[in-house]
Amino acid sequence: MPGENRAKEETVVQGISASQGIAYGQIFVYLQSEVEVPSYEVDSEKRIDEVARFEKALLLTRQQIAKIKNEVEKNLGPEEARIFDAHLLVLEDQALILETIRDFENTGRNIETCFNGVAQRYIRAFSEIDDEYLRERAGDIRDVAQRVLQNLLGQAENSLSRLAEKRIVVANELSPSATASIDRSAALAIVTDTGSKTSHAVIVARSMKIPAVVAVSNLTQRVQTGDWAIVDGYDGVVILHPTKQPLFRYGKIQLQKKSFEQRLIEGNRQPAITLDGVAVRLMANIEKVDELAQVRENLAEGVGLYRTEYLYLNSSRIPTEQEQFLAYKSVVEGLAPQPVVIRTLDLGGDKPMASLPDLFPREANPFMGFRAIRFCLEHPDLFKDQLRAILLASAHGRVQLMYPMISGADELARANALLEECRAELRARGQPFDEKMLVGAMIEIPSAAVTADILAAQCSFFSVGTNDLIQYLLAIDRGNNRIAHLYEPTHPAVIRTLKHIVDEARVRGLPVGVCGEMAGDPVFAPLLLGLGVDSLSMTPGWLPTVKYIVRAMTMADARRLAAEALTMDSPKEIYAKCDAFYRTRVWVE
């Protein structure tokens, strides 16, 4: 057997951290093998039975996926369960089914062979598309096709649900349904040879709170079932055959993390005030109404970013003014008197409306193309429907409106002019809205940052979208894994730009929030606050950790950290400074 005679020496292998946590235990190697498909000719009198067999297998597959979906929904929530909607859609794909039957009628080969042939063609076609979302559909089809083939061949489910003992699951690749079938009480951690941070299987692992490390190349070939290992889901490291030293170190870290988690839960009930008495507003980012429960659970002081485009993305047509109003109203009423910052549409770029391809023609550079405010200003009727819906919702709580992707004063003026027209229309209709509703601009394009002083004259607040600001400042496509290591929030250009935005806003009395991912990272939060940012808005689940660091630091120290960072040249060194600032405050018992 390969590796049989290999000395079991301690080896550290690096992958990508995909789900946090630490595990120590024995490995179970899971090699997901493709189903072997026999090929034979079907006698003409048996051809009707063959089609019936296919239909039966499709039905059984549908039932199995619906069952997994229900379980995932029950255990993890509706968001994670949505992955399996994509799988159910594959089963309803008439083209896939009809092509299989047509191939069967033309060739007379058994239905498994025909189905496999068609599915492989689809998988190949989707994997070659230059669009991440559509490429992921190849994985969905592969997962579903394997299930259909297993059912056709009467093979047992290729499942991880029967792990006899607690094990670290090491796999070449994990499909979402294989991950969902893992018995939570038996899986210590998940490690895969392939995969990315955003693959569906990883999302499921994260929701199950199982530590996970992905992209550890060829690990399945280097280990055997029964080998001992430590999985560090924080730093994306796997230590094979660990000696006493790392065991001791990780044991200590694990204890610290446990006590930290307990302190997080307790601390989150307290207000977000620094040790020297400065209150910081910590808010949540949401995309849909059903996330309100998490916003409340994590005690956010309102919503700092409501990404409204999801209402469009999940629909086959443009939602009407009334439909939008009802959606916004339920968020606004649900959180009143806390504020809700509603961002106008940020469609296009990585978020085209798949159901309306004519509105979103393919572009060579979608991130720098026809998206967000550029799209809205070219479709004023559609934009005004949304503006009126937001104004109407403002009568039901505390609404603030902001525009994404503002690049200069002209765009802001044109958007504000349309908003003014909407106000006049609602007055004429006799419909109430908040006449004092604050209007802000997202600062996420370098030109907006540079002209912050000019933009400040036309709005009431700034919200910095660091995800895009970093992408455009450093010319690093935020979705491109190959250059992900160059996407550095601590690049001096980023820090100086943030400082410039805050300084310009302060002179003109405007508050500045940050709503990009940087705001939810406890390593960066002190730096942002030290630079003078007033509020941070983040994924609800990050709130307790950020609140913890806010409560464990003084604003004076954060300002010193920012002042020092502004004098430094190296992104890595600035990161190390921020990391040390965080760690020294978190690990103090």
Provide the binding-site residues for ligand PEP, judged by CB under 6 A: 305, 307, 346, 444, 465-468, 515-516
Per partner kind, with CB cut-offs from 5 to 8 A, the member of Mg ion, ligand PEP, none near residue 470 is none
User: Which residue in 199, 160, 198 sits closest to 28, CA to CA?
Assistant: 160
List, as one string, the DSSP characters of 459-512: -SEEEE-HHHHHHHHHT--TT-GGGGGG--TT-HHHHHHHHHHHHHHHHTT--E
> How far are the Cα atoms of 383, 455, 472, 474, 558 from residue 448, in angstroms, in the given order?
21, 7, 11, 15, 26
**Cβ neighbours of residue 3 closer than 8 Å, sequence gap 6 or more:** 221, 222, 223, 224
**Least Cβ distance, residue 494 to Mg ion (angstroms):** 14
The 3-class secondary structure across 400-428, one letter per residue, is EEEECCCCCHHHHHHHHHHHHHHHHHHHH
Per partner kind, with CB cut-offs from 5 to 8 A, the member of ligand PEP, Mg ion, none near residue 339 is none
**Least Cβ distance, residue 281 to ligand PEP (angstroms):** 16
Strand partners of residue 27: 168
Structure tokens at 11: 């080896």
Catalytic status, residue 422: no
**Least Cβ distance, residue 466 to ligand PEP (angstroms):** 5
d(CA 339, CA 461): 13
The 3-class secondary structure across 261-310, one letter per residue, is HHHHHHHCCCCCECCCCCECEEEEEECCHHHHHHHHHCCCCCEEEEECHH
- 29 vs 347 by CB, closer to ligand PEP: 347
Per annotation, catalytic residue among 114, 422, 459, 515: 515
- 176 vs 516 by CB, closer to ligand PEP: 516
- 66 vs 484 by CB, closer to ligand PEP: 484
341 touches 304 (CB < 8 A):
yes
d(CA 442, CA 466): 10
**Least Cβ distance, residue 448 to ligand PEP (angstroms):** 12
- State the helix-helix crossing angle for 47-75 and 111-127, rounded to 10 degrees: 50
Indicate which single residue of 411, 468, 504, 517 sits in contact with Mg ion (rule: CB under 5 A).
468
488 touches 571 (CB < 8 A):
yes
Per annotation, catalytic residue among 200, 376, 459, 491: 200
d(CA 93, CA 77): 26
Give the type of residue at 40: Y
Per partner kind, with CB cut-offs from 5 to 8 A, the member of Mg ion, ligand PEP, none near residue 112 is none
Question: In this structure, what are the phi and psi dihedrals at residue 588, rounded to the nearest 5 degrees?
Answer: -65, 120
Options 46-54, 153-161, 349-357, 464-472: segment touching Mg ion (CB under 5 A): 464-472
Options 211-219, 307-315, 362-370, 437-445: segment touching Mg ion (CB under 5 A): 437-445
Options 39-47, 104-112, 311-319, 439-447: segment touching Mg ion (CB under 5 A): 439-447
**Least Cβ distance, residue 488 to ligand PEP (angstroms):** 15
- 173 vs 444 by CB, closer to ligand PEP: 444
Catalytic status, residue 200: yes
Backbone dihedral region for residue 445 (phi beyond 0: left; psi -120 to 50: alpha; all else: beta)? beta
Residue that has been written with the tokens 């018995």 in this structure: 183
d(CA 465, CA 220): 40
Give the Cα-Cα-Cα angle 232, 237, 240 (nearest 5 degrees): 95
- 250 vs 472 by CB, closer to ligand PEP: 472
d(CA 295, CA 305): 12
**Least Cβ distance, residue 438 to ligand PEP (angstroms):** 18
**Least Cβ distance, residue 351 to Mg ion (angstroms):** 10
- 403 vs 582 by CB, closer to Mg ion: 403
Per partner kind, with CB cut-offs from 5 to 8 A, the member of ligand PEP, Mg ion, none near residue 515 is ligand PEP
- 160 vs 372 by CB, closer to Mg ion: 372
Options 57-65, 352-360, 438-446, 532-540: segment touching Mg ion (CB under 5 A): 438-446
Give the Cα-Cα-Cα angle 395, 396, 400 (nearest 5 degrees): 70
**Least Cβ distance, residue 224 to ligand PEP (angstroms):** 43
Indicate which single residue of 339, 465, 540, 544 sits in contact with Mg ion (rule: CB under 5 A).
465
- 309 vs 444 by CB, closer to Mg ion: 444
Residues annotated catalytic, as ranges = 200, 515
Which residues contact Mg ion (rule: CB under 5 A)? Answer: 444, 465, 468
